[in-house]
Amino acid sequence: MRTESGIQDGLLKDKSTYEIMRPESVGISRSKLVLGKHSGRHAFKTRLSEMGYDLSQENLERAFETFKRLADLKKEVFDEDLEAIVQDEVLRVEVPDRYRLLKFKVQSGTDTSPRAEVEMEVDSRAVSGAGTGDGPVDAAYNTIAALTGTKSRLLKYSVNAITGGTDAQGEVSVRVEEGGHIVLGQGSHTDIIVASAKAYINALNRLEHMKKEKRDTPVL
């Protein structure tokens, strides 16, 4: 809970001075629970459940492995990190996708021209290729577009650190359009270029899904 400026004193004395509702009453906790590499399965599962994610045993295992890998990379694992893990590793991959990222490498910097090497699965077939661009994201996206044979337009790209700290995970959101269909794609990773590639591939999968789903939406 954030509190700034001079009203703190009154607030500390009596919470009802300014608060007509308590944050706990809507499920916002005043203290942040942090997990780390010593946290076990049980703590992990309990926290996820409190956050609204009740996973099957199999999905829980998959998410837990990702959690362990992440906890090796960064010291503290926050709720936001857990959300990203479940969304990336469980919910988004449950439905069979046309496109999947297998391996990925980029080079960029002041004295080199940006280049990406991508290995991915397209309709269960492994394909690979390399491409260039005016930056690492452009290089990655050009390569992915070539490998998937897609002709979408990137309308918006944004990256956010999902928590504080230089070791935070980056979450990339993209808005992609093709043939009048607009979708959002998301991906997170401690490496923001990898997160960018995941977000783009997520958007391309959603576009495929949307193209198949010819639908008549009512306005109610």
Partner 1 sequence: MDDRVRIFDTTLRDGEQSPGASMNVEEKIAVARQLTKLGVDVIEAGFAFSSPGDFDSVRRIALEVEGPVICSLARCKPEDIDAAAGALRGAPRARIHTFISTSEIHLKHQFRLTRSEALERAVEMVKRARGHVDDVEFSAMDASRTEPAYLYEMIEAVIEAGAGTVNIPDTVGYALPDQFGALIKGIRDNVRNIDRAVISVHCHNDLGLAVANSLAAVVNGARQVECTINGIGERAGNASLEEIVMILRTRKDVLGLETGIATEQIYPASRLVSGITGIMVQPNKAIVGDNAFAH
Q: Among 133, 186, 196, 201, which residue interacts with partner 1 (rule: CB under 8 A)?
A: 186
Tokens standing for residue 182:
């607009």
Q: Is residue 61 a contact residue for partner 1 (CB under 8 A)?
A: no
Name which of 217, 143, 138, 153 is nearest 185 in CA terms. 153
Shortest spacing between CB 44 and partner 1, in angstroms? 16
The Cα 71–Cα 63 span in angstroms is 12
Scored b (16 or more CB within 10 A) or e, 78-114 reads bbbbbbbbbbbbbebeeeebbbbbeebebebeeeeeb
Q: Among 36, 46, 73, 94, which residue interacts with partner 1 (rule: CB under 8 A)?
A: 94
**How does DSSP classify residue 169?**
P
Q: Is residue 167 a contact residue for partner 1 (CB under 8 A)?
A: no
The Cα 33–Cα 60 span in angstroms is 19
Q: Among 35, 39, 44, 53, which residue interacts with partner 1 (rule: CB under 8 A)?
A: 53
Q: Among 90, 140, 147, 195, which residue interacts with partner 1 (rule: CB under 8 A)?
A: 90
DSSP string, 179-207: TTEEEEEEEEESSHHHHHHHHHHHHHHHH
Q: Is residue 9 a contact residue for partner 1 (CB under 8 A)?
A: no
Q: Is residue 2 a contact residue for partner 1 (CB under 8 A)?
A: yes
Shortest spacing between CB 28 and partner 1, in angstroms? 5
Q: Is residue 153 a contact residue for partner 1 (CB under 8 A)?
A: no
Q: Where are the alpha helices (DSSP H) in the chain?
A: 8-13, 41-50, 57-73, 79-86, 136-148, 192-212
Scan for tokens 């794609």, then name that residue. 185
Shortest spacing between CB 205 and partner 1, in angstroms? 9
Q: Which is nearer to partner 1, 87 or 190 (CB)?
A: 87
Q: Which is nearer to partner 1, 131 or 185 (CB)?
A: 185
Q: Among 34, 45, 62, 87, which residue interacts with partner 1 (rule: CB under 8 A)?
A: 87
Shortest spacing between CB 155 and partner 1, in angstroms? 10
State the number of CA atoms in the 13 A half-sphere of 193 facing the CB.
19
The Cα 69–Cα 98 span in angstroms is 26
Q: Is residue 109 a contact residue for partner 1 (CB under 8 A)?
A: no
Q: Which stretch binds partner 1 (CB under 8 A): 67-75, 85-93, 102-110, 119-127?
A: 85-93
The Cα 123–Cα 134 span in angstroms is 29
Residues binding partner 1 (CB under 8 A):
1-5, 7-8, 11, 18-21, 23-28, 50-54, 79, 83-84, 87, 90-92, 94-95, 173, 175, 182-186, 206, 209-210, 212-220
